[in-house]
């Protein structure tokens, strides 16, 4: 140990010059923590000197890497619903001073919990549900390690329900003025599986019948020769279809 303490190790870079002098540790290793080294390939010479002035030299080859900076990203579409695939767009690419090939790593989370639904730039709509908040962290990497990261998030909005493609039927086709009219329709669908309701608008000669929103209309409202229409609107807990 006393012999080691009598040694000194000088590190000199062929780019940045003398970097520092240290005394070897008890296990014989000599280390130096540095910041601000010039980027690129460097030859660093370690010269060991004892108390008699005798020296030994070795040259170490290093690649000083500057990690790439974070990209600028967008997550869309915004607003998004449960039928939309979520897509990360790289608005501004990361840059790397050494010109290394860069890759991006994607980590998705839902409501603050990391998700395995995707590790790519897209997330299937099948993974999302109404009122969830999805976020994605995009991290750039070069051959030497991870660079900067950027996060984006959005909330999943309600998807409007959809009426059936079956035609709405007004019956009877030829009604007397005292007959009740029926507006017959098929049930619609909602990808959010919300409870659905229906409202019916009745019009006589183009004028809405106030207060009547059910599927039937009393013959008390009609007179001979009038034109009657019924319009069905499907509604979930947030919006109409």
Q: Mean pLDDT across the chain, nearest whole number?
A: 92
pLDDT of residue 199: 94
For residue 4, name the pLDDT band (cuts at 50, 70, 90): low
Residue 2 has pLDDT above 60, yes or no: no
Contacts of 16 (CB under 8 A, 6+ apart): 37, 38, 42
Mind listing the pLDDT tens digit for each residue in 70-92?
999 999 999 999 999 999 999 99
Cα–Cα distance for residue pair 229/2, rounded to 1 Å:
105
pLDDT digits (tens, 9 = 90+) for 92-140: 999 988 888 999 999 999 999 999 999 999 999 999 999 999 999 999 9
> Of 88, 82, 130, which Cα lies nearest the Cα of 106?
88
pLDDT score for 204: 97
Q: How many CB atoms lie within 10 A of CB 176?
A: 9
As a whole number, mean pLDDT of residues 164-179 equals 93
State residue 88's pLDDT score. Answer: 98
125 or 237: whose pLDDT is higher? Answer: 125
Distances (CA, A) of 209 to 173, 179, 229, 230: 19, 16, 10, 10
The predicted pLDDT at position 3 comes to 64
Three-state secondary structure readout of 21-73: EECCCCCCCCCCCCCCCCCEEEEEEEEEECCCCCEEEEEEEEEECCCCCCCEE
- E-strand ranges in 79-222 read 80-81, 86-92, 103-110, 113-115, 122-123, 133-142, 145-157, 169-171, 181-184, 197-204, 207-208, 216-217
Asked if residues 164 and 136 have their Cβ atoms less than 8 Å apart, the reply is no
Contact 190, 235 (CB under 8 A): no
Angle at 23 between CA 22 and CA 25, to 5 degrees: 120
For residue range 173-217, list pLDDT tens digits in order: 888 989 999 999 999 999 998 999 999 999 999 999 999 999 999
Beta-bridge mates of residue 153: 135
* Residue 107 · residue 65 · CB < 8 Å: no
pTM: predicted TM-score of the whole model, two decimal places: 0.68
Closest CA to 111 of 78, 92, 127, 135: 135
Helix (H, G, I), strand (E, B) or coil at 221: helix
Query: Residue 45: is its pLDDT beyond 90?
Result: yes
Q: How far is CA 94 from CA 102, 104, 119, 147, in A?
A: 8, 9, 19, 9
Q: Work out the average pLDDT over 144-170.
A: 95
In sequence order, the β-bridge partners of residue 43 are: 61
């Amino acid at each position: 140990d006393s012999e080691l303490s009598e040694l000194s190790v000088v590190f000199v870079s062929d780019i940045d010059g003398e970097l520092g002098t240290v005394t070897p540790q008890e296990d014989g290793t000599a280390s130096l923590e540095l910041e601000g080294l010039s980027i690129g390939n460097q030859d660093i010479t370690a010269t060991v000197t004892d108390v008699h002035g005798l020296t030994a030299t070795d040259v170490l080859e290093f690649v000083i890497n500057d990690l790439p900076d974070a990209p600028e990203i967008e997550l869309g579409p915004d607003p998004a619903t449960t039928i939309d695939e979520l897509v990360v767009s790289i608005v501004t690419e990361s840059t790397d001073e050494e010109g290394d090939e860069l890759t991006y790593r994607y980590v998705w989370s839902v409501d603050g919990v990391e998700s395995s639904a995707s590790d790519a730039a897209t997330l299937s709509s099948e993974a999302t549900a109404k009122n969830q908040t999805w976020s994605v962290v995009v991290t750039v990497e070069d051959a030497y390690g991870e660079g900067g990261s950027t996060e984006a998030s959005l909330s999943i909005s309600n998807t409007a329900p959809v009426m059936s493609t079956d035609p709405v039927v007004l019956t009877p086709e030829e009604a007397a003025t005292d007959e009740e009219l029926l507006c017959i329709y098929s049930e619609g669908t909602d990808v959010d599986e919300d409870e659905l309701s229906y409202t019916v608008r009745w019009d006589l000669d183009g004028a809405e019948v106030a207060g009547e929103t059910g599927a039937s209309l009393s013959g008390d409202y009609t007179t001979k020769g009038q034109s009657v229409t019924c319009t069905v609107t499907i509604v979930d807990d947030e919006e109409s279809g």
